[in-house]
Amino acid sequence: MDSRRGSRFVIDPKIRQVGFVPAGCESENPNASSAVAAIANVDVNPTSDSPSPVMIPPRLADPLPRAAPLPVPSPPPRKHTSVEIPLQGSYNPTDSVLGTSPPFSPASNGRYAGVPSSEGPDLSPSFVSRASSAMEGMSLREDHLGSPSASRFATVGEYAMFKQQQPQQPATAVTKVYASSLPQEPVQSFAPVGKEDSSKPLKERTTKAERRAKQEADREAKRIAKESAGAKVVEGEARASSNVVGKASRAQSQKKDSASEKRLSAVEKASEKEKKKEIPAPRMQFDDQSRVAKAKKRALIEQTETKHRVELFRHLPQFVYGAQLPSLEAKFFHDDAMHPHPAVYQVGLQYLTGDITGGNARCIAMLSAFKELIKDYCTPRERTLIRDLTARVNNNVSFLTTCRPLCISMGNAIRFLKTRIAKLQLTLSESDAKSLIIAEIDRFMQEKINYADNEITKLAVTKIKDGDVILTYGSSCVVETIILHAFSLGKKFRVVIVDSRPKLEGKGLLRRLLGRGISCTYSHINAVTYIIQEVNKVFLGASSILSNGTVYSRVGSASVAMVANAFHVPVMICCETYKFHERVQLDSICFNELGDPDALVKIPGRKGLSELEGWSQSSHLKLLNLMYDVMPADYVSMIITELGMVPPTSVPVILREYRKDPILENFATFGKDSNPIKFFRASLEYYRAC
Amino acid sequence: MARAMPELQLAISDFLLKLQRRQIEGSFDSAKHTVLLLRQVIVQHRASHSGQASSFIDAVKTVGARLVAASPIELAVGNVVRRVLHIIREEEVSIANNTEDEGETTFDSDDNNNSDDDGLPVLSAAVLAAANRNVLRAPSLHNLLESAVIPAVAIVSSSSAGDSEERSRSSEKNSKGWKLKHSIIEGINELLEDINNNHAQIAEQALEHIHQNEVILTLGHSRTLLQFLREAKKKRSFEVFVAEGAPRYLGHTLAKELAALNLQTTLITDSAVFAMMSRVDMVIIGAHAVMANGGVIAPTGLHMVALAARRHAVPFVVLAGMYKLCPLYPHNPYVLVNEMKSLSQILEHEESMEYIDAALNVPDLLAMNPSFDYIPPELVSLFITDMGGHNPSYIYRLVAEYYSPEDHSLE
């Protein structure tokens, strides 16, 4: 330990600032040279092992989840490999491939600042290359902080990469290492590249950019080696000591290496795949002729394009509304592989006719239908369940899409279902697999929708006080439950329901609320500037919340939020986290859904007003029935999710931390004995406490 | 008076009734009808010989106050009444000046010092009144020119007042009274013409504001706007988004009319305004009234549109004829310059009955259906009037030009 202590000042907070001094100062600093030496040491033959296919155990057990419900200034989310809630006692670290670390106290923030690459001596099983031992040696000197977290820099290559991304810093190895101790974004941004490196033997597919990045990294590494060779002369025993320790620890860790390497690389590969998946696939653009033609071939039925296409929305499907119904009916009696399951068929038609609307209702209906589908499913001969079932689900999903474009929450649910199917163990019997999947679907509906709604209601109710006037727009089932719950708690408030054509969904909400005895004011969207003046809170639902914090919801919500914002009324969005999506969107044009234009023609209750009868005769007149719009994040005061009340800027944090569906995942990991709900609740409380 | 002019009284009460029943709606119609009625009032008014102008003013004010009370929301009625009053005052002054001028030209055109002896007392009174008014009136270029004349006249009149006589005074007055009435009626006719032509005059400026392939958004229906776009269409082709404008849905009519002009027209729902605004180059709307501070009273929904336009930095252009210019400053316009329309426009009758049944245990189901929005001046980029384009901050100046401050209150 003494030797380490000798070099402790490397990460001593005071000296750490050296990282920002110009290159000239570096030579005076013995720490600096020691660190350089450490690198130099390793790169004795830089040419041979510069690609350094070294795997570092991925960062683990981040205290980050706690940052999720917190507002903006959260620490930069790091390399996402596994999200772990440092709560569960049942979790046995040794079981994990990834290793673990104890939950960090809030004080361990220092880790962000102080430990650039802290390879715990006890956990560096993956060190196989000499290149990495340099980092190891350094980090050994640094681990006095007691944060045995995984290295920020997996390899020298990565490290060099990092250096490259910081051209404004003086180009010395020392400063780079110091700089690395700062929580800077580039650290995340190049982390995957390093991984790419390491998994290369397994996976040859690297993109051009990645190859190039690697090349540059190598070059950088060489340069550092040269530089440090010069520095080597200057430094003395610090190098020796660090070297010794480094070697010792390497020897120690080397034993584990061979065993863990394979597993790790597999994990890495998987996590990389996951990473790829995280980037949302580009949407189908309907003005792309070739893709449309392809899609047509696959399509269940032929859909006729409307003659009165709104040019601005060429990229969206603009079919004659309801025209698919007869062909769908005809299709029903066809019995082929493409044929949708009756339950799915029914749900699809209900979407088409508008009997089921609303994100949650549609999602639940779809999942229930899929449950039926899976119940009735039996694997054909010479097929595997996993593949065939996935294909079957895909078919049914495309059927649902022809009925009505999926909403984002449904897309998330489908994605969930597919990953569940894909993750099924091949050894499972068919009936076991089926019941497992059905159980998973049930759990999804329970936890992600029902339980989340309860949780949101509980949170949102605290925002309603006696004498409030609450405005809501359209009809959102979450907002409705919130209002009903607040009313049942005996709170005295008034509800303003703002509605808009053509759906007039607010009328249904009005009827239900009046039936419960809640005072209501009803108005149309144009009067919102009038009515907002007596309102003091706005509650809105959402179809989805996108990664940049924009709220994708029923058309008109953005206007309501804008007006509320202009009149300084807080806008609260109630949305379950399963509706969050990684996509980003700036306007309502690039992605949207178009409703039936004919719905605009008739005005209910105004028989005399039929100006637009026969509008289709005019080639110049188009009717646009937009279904959704995008509310900029700055109109949103807070988003109420089951994980707490967060600002819109925290959406990407939640997405990042929960992308892997930690609750279900961890439940799976931690054994079937623990109660998922209990577990969920505990984690919730934990997050809220933070 | 009532006995003397039964048909006038009939016309007035008929118009009042129509206003009260909202059978005449819209600033254009109500303004036009008001002008016609006031012209009738002037024509039929037999002024007493003393204080001709003031008796006209009184007559117009009494009728005007009743009209305004009948439909306070039709600000154009009050505007037109004030315009007529202003015309009377102006004519009074100009007649006075003209008499002076005439005197100078007819009797002693070469010598300014010798002026008409006749009617000097009247003249001086009128001049004083005019001078007084000038003190009251906010300064304008017009007034400045006027006031440059007045002192000279005043000096002249005072110098020659000493040898004034009272001969042939009544005949002179009669002719003057006739002249005043005549010129007032002429002024009113001009006003009427202005109102009738304002659409065309506003439309003339269309090409200065609309370029090729422009995307324009509007809400509801406006005659001025239709003509404006029609004029622009003659030279340019562009696209129009029309929001339907609940609860009257006049956007449907406008969309149809625009499509008939071969303009690319897309009808959108009111709720989609914010979504579409990101692709819009200009918002053009017709106003119901323009307040003295540059704020706009417009059909409901336009405040939202204006906010969306500001959010997307889209110019928000208001078309308004001068008769829509209201000399009053808005105070709590959302409540005071507004009108609640029938609930049946937003809830069908059967439906509302059902709701009321459902709400028996709840005494309050409210349905809000206001007819107007107030758009604050900071959201307006430009006013296009028949007198050219103006900034919202300049409107108060126009008010000073067209209205006399003593008429701002009609009581």
Closest partner residue to B269 (CB to CB) among A502, A612, A618 is: A502
Angle of helix A185-198 relative to helix A208-234, nearest 10 degrees, comes to 100
Listed residue (A234, A563, A221, A606) closest to B300, CA to CA: A563
- Residue B186 CA to residue A480 CA, distance in Å, equals 64
Torsion-angle region of B148 (φ positive above 0: left; ψ -120 to 50: alpha; else: beta): alpha
Asked if A444 and A367 count as a contact pair (C-beta separation under 8 A), the reply is yes
What's the predicted TM-score (pTM) here? 0.70
**Read out DSSP for A597-629?**
GGGGT--TT-SS--TTTTGGG-SSEEEE-B-EE
Under DSSP, the state recorded for A286 is T
- Residue A671 CA to residue B399 CA, distance in Å, equals 80
More confident residue, B162 or B218: B218
Tokens 């984690």 locate to: A683
- Residue A34 CA to residue A14 CA, distance in Å, equals 17
- Min distance B122 CA to chain A CA atoms (Å): 54
- Residue A8 CA to residue B67 CA, distance in Å, equals 91
Share of chain B above pLDDT 90, in %: 55
A630 touches chain B (CB under 8 A): yes
pLDDT, one tens digit per residue, over B109-152 is: 444 444 444 444 444 555 555 555 544 455 555 555 555 554 44
What is residue A314's three-state secondary structure? coil
Q: Which of A467-471, B317-321, B348-352 has the lowest mean pLDDT?
A: B348-352
Q: What is the pLDDT of residue A478?
A: 94
Asked if residue A450 has pLDDT above 70, the reply is: yes
The C-alpha torsion from A269 through A273 and A278 to A284, rounded to 10°, is: 170
Q: Average pLDDT, stretch B157-184? A: 62
Per residue, the 3-state secondary structure of B223-268, as one string, reads: HHHHHHHHHHHHHCCCEEEEECCCCCCHHHHHHHHHHHCCCEEEEE
Residue type, A231: A
Asked if B258 and B267 count as a contact pair (C-beta separation under 8 A), the reply is no
Q: What is the pLDDT of residue A555?
A: 94
pLDDT, one tens digit per residue, over A130-147 is: 434 334 434 434 434 433
B264 touches chain A (CB under 8 A): yes
- Residue A657 CA to residue A67 CA, distance in Å, equals 9
Asked if residue A34 has pLDDT above 50, the reply is: no
Residue A431, exposed/middle/buried by CB under 10 A (0-12, 13-18, 19+)? exposed
Q: What is the mean pLDDT of chain B?
A: 82
Neighbours of A334 (CB within 10 A): 9
Asked if residue A110 has pLDDT above 80, the reply is: no
Closest partner residue to A312 (CB to CB) among B249, B265, B279 is: B279
Q: Choosing among B229, B239, B271, which should be mutated to test the A contact, i.e. which has the most A CBs within 10 A?
A: B271
Sign of the dihedral through C-alpha A78, A83, A87, A93: negative
- In which band, very low, low, confident or very high, does the pLDDT at A340 lie, cut at 50, 70 and 90? confident
User: CA dist B228 to A210, A571, B218, Å?
Assistant: 58, 38, 12
- Residue B295 CA to residue B329 CA, distance in Å, equals 9
Asked if residue A78 has pLDDT above 60, the reply is: no
Sign of the dihedral through C-alpha B327, B328, B329, B330: negative
Q: Average pLDDT, stretch B271-283? A: 95
Contacts of B276 in chain A (CB under 8 A): 588-589, 624, 626
**Read out DSSP for B59-72?**
HHHHHHHHHHHH-T
Query: Which stretches of A462-554 are DSSP H helices?
Result: 477-488, 506-515, 528-531
* Number of continuous H segments (helices) and E segments (strands) in chain A: 26, 12
Q: Average pLDDT, stretch A98-116? A: 39
Listed residue (B34, B103, B23) closest to B75, CA to CA: B34
User: Strand B289-290 and strand B296-299: pairing?
Assistant: antiparallel
Q: What is the pLDDT of residue A56?
A: 36
Q: Which of A176-180, A284-288, B177-181 has the lowest mean pLDDT?
A: A176-180
B304 touches chain A (CB under 8 A): yes
Domains of chain B from N-terminus onward:
6-97+172-196 (1.20.120.420), 204-407 (3.40.50.10470)
Pick from A232-236, A657-661, B81-85, B160-164 the range whose average pLDDT is largest.
B81-85
Pick from A660-669, B160-169, B185-194 the range whose average pLDDT is largest.
B185-194
Q: What is the pLDDT of residue A286?
A: 81
Q: Which residues pair with A467 in a beta bridge?
A: none
Q: Average pLDDT, stretch B305-330? A: 95
Q: What is the pLDDT of residue B180?
A: 86
Which residues, in sequence order, are CB contacts of A117 under 8 Å at separation 6+? A135, A138, A139, A142, A151, A152, A153, A159, A177, A180
Asked if residue A598 has pLDDT above 60, the reply is: yes
Contacts of B373 in chain A (CB under 8 A): 526, 529-530
Q: What is the pLDDT of residue A306?
A: 78
Cis ω before B247 (30° cut-off from 0): yes
Pick from A53-57, A210-214, B216-220 the range whose average pLDDT is largest.
B216-220
B247 touches chain A (CB under 8 A): yes
Which residues, in sequence order, are CB contacts of A355 under 8 Å at separation 6+? none
- Residue A194 CA to residue B205 CA, distance in Å, equals 64
Taking CB atoms and an 8 Å limit, are A501 and B244 in contact across chains? yes
pLDDT, one tens digit per residue, over A499-521 is: 998 888 999 998 889 888 888 99
Q: What is the pLDDT of residue B140?
A: 55
Q: Which residues pair with B384 in a beta bridge?
A: B319, B389
Asked if A409 and A578 count as a contact pair (C-beta separation under 8 A), the reply is yes
Asked if residue A432 has pLDDT above 80, the reply is: yes
Asked if A580 and A685 count as a contact pair (C-beta separation under 8 A), the reply is no
pLDDT, one tens digit per residue, over B130-140 is: 555 544 455 55
- Residue B18 CA to residue B14 CA, distance in Å, equals 6
Closest partner residue to B252 (CB to CB) among A494, A511, A611 is: A611
Asked if residue A205 has pLDDT above 50, the reply is: yes
State phi, psi for A426 to the nearest 5 degrees.
Answer: -65, -25
Listed residue (A654, A620, A623) closest to A547, CA to CA: A654
B378 touches chain A (CB under 8 A): no
Q: Average pLDDT, stretch A164-171? A: 44
Under DSSP, the state recorded for A70 is S
The interface residues of chain A toward chain B in range 157-216, judged by CB-CB distance below 8 A, are none
Pick from A69-78, A313-322, A433-442 the range whose average pLDDT is largest.
A433-442
Q: What is the pLDDT of residue A579?
A: 93
Q: Average pLDDT, stretch A288-297? A: 80
Asked if residue A394 has pLDDT above 60, the reply is: yes
